[in-house]
Amino acid sequence: MQKNKKSKIKSIISLLVISCGLGLTANVAVQAATTTEAEASSVVASNTTKTAKVTKKAAPEVATKKVVKKAVSKKKTTKKAKKVSKKSAKKAALKKAAKKAKKAAKKAQKAALKKAAKKAKAAAKKAAKKAQKAAAKKAQKAALKKAAKKAKKKKKLTQSQQIAKINAKLSKAQRSAKNWIAYHESRYSYTARNGRCYGRYQLLTAYLHGNYSPVNQEKAANKYVAGRYGSWTNAKRFWLRHNWY
């Protein structure tokens, strides 16, 4: 019985010790937890203070960096703008120069064409003048050649042929009337003279103009009769009424 009581007491004491130990441990844990939480808060507060200090200290640097960055960006923008402006100005200058060059080239071309046209006109005028002169010379040469040929041909004809040619245009009746007058005026003599009248048709010497050749007498007689009577037949009629013509 006593042994059982002692065993129960020991068990109770053990439980109490365990309980006390657990309580102490819990207190210690709580205290440790509290201490840890306080230290953590202290660390956090310390870190916050430090961060604040660092932030406060870094704020001007950040601001300066921003200003510098902004200034650099602005400088870059300005530089870029200047570059673009310079490029645009260069482009505009080139465009202006090209336009000016084009205008100058057009003007030069126009002037050259005008000069060429003027030169061509002058050359054409000169060529035309030369051609005209050559044509006139050629025509003159041809005329002289023709005249020489004619004269040569005429020279080749005998007196009888020349007289026959002069009277070839007269009709048979006209030739007959002419011969009738020639017979009655001079008996066909080209040298018959009667005062101021001479030759086959007894024409005034003034009509012969100093040329008493038979050929000229035939020509002069035809001219005289055509002008005074119109035909040899009319001249014969007049002669028959008046015994002269």
pLDDT in tens, 12-40: 555 544 444 444 333 433 343 334 344 43
Q: How many domains does the chain have?
A: 1
CA–CA distances in Å: residue 93 to residues 1, 78, 99, 107: 127, 22, 10, 21
- Can you tell me the distance from the alpha carbon of 13 to that of 1, in angstroms, rounded to the nearest whole number? 18
Q: What is the pLDDT of residue 119?
A: 87
Lowest-confidence segment of 27-31, 89-93, 134-138 by average pLDDT: 27-31
Q: Is residue 231 part of a domain?
A: yes
Specify whether the CB–CB gap between 178 and 166 falls below 8 A: no
Lowest-confidence segment of 47-51, 85-89, 106-110, 184-188 by average pLDDT: 47-51
- Confidence bin at 153 (pLDDT 50/70/90): low
Q: Is residue 186 part of a domain?
A: yes
Q: Is residue 91 part of a domain?
A: no
Q: Is residue 123 part of a domain?
A: no
Tell me the three state secondary structure of residue 194: strand
Place of tokens 């030069």: 108
Q: What is the pLDDT of residue 62?
A: 64
Dihedrals φ, ψ of 243, to 5°?
Answer: 60, 25
What tokens appear for 143 in the block? 């005329």
- Confidence bin at 241 (pLDDT 50/70/90): very high
- Confidence bin at 198 (pLDDT 50/70/90): very high
pLDDT at 77 over 80: no
Average pLDDT, the chain: 78
Which amino acid does the sequence have at 127?
Answer: A
Write out the residue range of the structural domain in which residue 166 sits: 144-242
Arithmetic mean of pLDDT, 195-199? 97
pLDDT at 178 over 70: yes
Arithmetic mean of pLDDT, 81-95? 80
pLDDT at 163 over 80: yes
Q: Is residue 75 part of a domain?
A: no
pLDDT at 129 over 70: yes
- What is the percentage of the chain residues whose pLDDT exceeds 90? 36
Which residues touch 173 (CB under 8 Å, ≥6 apart)? 233
What tokens appear for 105 in the block? 């080239």
Q: What is the pLDDT of residue 75?
A: 73
Partner residues linked to 194 by β-bridges: 197
Q: Is residue 202 part of a domain?
A: yes
Q: Is residue 89 part of a domain?
A: no
Q: Is residue 194 part of a domain?
A: yes
pLDDT at 63 over 80: no
Q: How many residues does the chain have?
A: 245
pLDDT at 115 over 80: yes
